[in-house]
Amino acid sequence: MKLPLHLLGLALILGALSAHGADRKLVMIAGKPSHGPGEHEFRAGCLLLQKCLEGVPGLHTAFYDGGWPKSPDAFAGADAVFLYADGGDGHPFLQEDHLPIIAGLISKGVGLGLAHYAVEVPKERAGRQFQAWVGGYYETAYSCNPMWSPDYQSFPDHPITRGVKPFTTRDEWYIHMRFRPEMQGVLPILVAKPSDQVRRGPYVYPPGPYPHIIAASGQDEIMMWAVERPDGGRGFGFTGGHYHRNWGNDNVRKLVLNALLWIAKVEVPADGVQSAVSAEELERNLDPKHR
């Protein structure tokens, strides 16, 4: 029996809505303008990553800038949240009532990804939460932030590392994170060994050197990690991302794109997320800083 045209049209619309409703929702939040040109370009970086995720089956992305969504419905139906922003006392999650909102999402199994400065929070205000939610965080005077060029040569067998090849980039790669005790449930993703010169500093702030960082000479450091929480949610921390130009590196980009799919529980392709970024695209959406 043939359906009348108006019923057929309705069926097609409902089918499309149903398919869209099945998509996993990733909320991407960019912080306010920060630092100089080409540094901490949170908005441009998030929009670039969002562009690279267009067309990924089963994923819907929602982008917000300014450090926090203005829409009260921004997190409705969210499966994962990604924050790329300044941290410390100015961390977007620590303003107003934002931390309880994120805690509520976490309790429902929502994934959480943090990039660069967003992994830093004051120990007494959210250190315990960040250890539980993403496995670790940057703790002032315990962690440090040198500018250096780690040589990433090997990776664990994990969806986040699919298709990623050895690489190096100069960036403000944080080291000596405050991870969960005994690294419980924390999977290192990016691991490299800083030279003694890197350990001696100067760090970006405070310039150091810190005796406990020097005392760890010869040890590996972890610059990206992932966790699977008991509530069913997933999390990751990525300490790179100071320099916007590094999003032009195919392997850096692929790692984070893969991680975003993973925390949203979208299947990561066997060779990772395929994307290409031109020099012109890297110049788009930059914050209006003094140049």
**Domain definitions of the chain by residue range:** 24-282
Q: Read off the pLDDT of each residue in 67-77 and give the average, rounded to a whole number.
A: 96
Q: Assess whether the previous peptide bond of 230 is cis (omega < 30° from 0).
A: no
pLDDT at 14 (0 to 100): 45
Question: Is the confidence at residue 291, as pLDDT, over 70?
Answer: no
pLDDT for the residue numbered 4: 52
Outline where 138-189 has alpha helix (H): none
The hierarchical CATH code for the domain 24-282 is: 3.40.50.880
Q: DSSP class of residue 211?
A: H
Cβ–Cβ < 8 Å for 99, 86: no
Distances (CA, A) of 290 to 47, 247, 280, 286, 287: 21, 21, 20, 11, 9
Residues 159-168: tens digit of each pLDDT: 999 999 999 9
Residue 205 C-beta-side C-alpha neighbours within 13 Å: 3
pLDDT at 289: 85
Question: How far apart are alpha carbons 15 and 23 in whole angstroms?
Answer: 13
Task: Name residue, tokens 């030279």.
Answer: 195
Sign of CA dihedral 41, 284, 261, 271: negative
Cβ(30)–Cβ(85) under 8 Å? yes
Angle (nearest 5°) at CA 279 between 277 and 285: 85
Residues linked to residue 187 through DSSP beta bridges, in sequence order: 226
Q: What is the pLDDT of residues 226-271, one digit of tens each?
A: 999 999 999 999 999 999 999 999 999 999 999 999 999 999 999 9
Is residue 234 within 8 A of residue 263, CB to CB? The reply is yes
Q: Which two tokens stand for residue 40?
A: 């901490």
DSSP strands (E only) in 80-220 = 80-84, 111-115, 136-137, 178-179, 186-192
- CA dist list (Å): 3 to 7, 8, 12: 6, 6, 12
Beta strands 234-238 and 136-137, pairing class: unpaired
Structure confidence at residue 17 (pLDDT): 42
**Mean pLDDT, range 45-55, rounded to an integer:** 97
**Mean pLDDT value of segment 85-114:** 98
**Lookup result for tokens 């562009």:** 51
Q: Burial of 43 by CB count in 10 Å (0-12 exposed, 13-18 middle, 19+ buried)? A: buried
Which of 55, 150, 113 is CA-nearest to residue 256?
Answer: 113
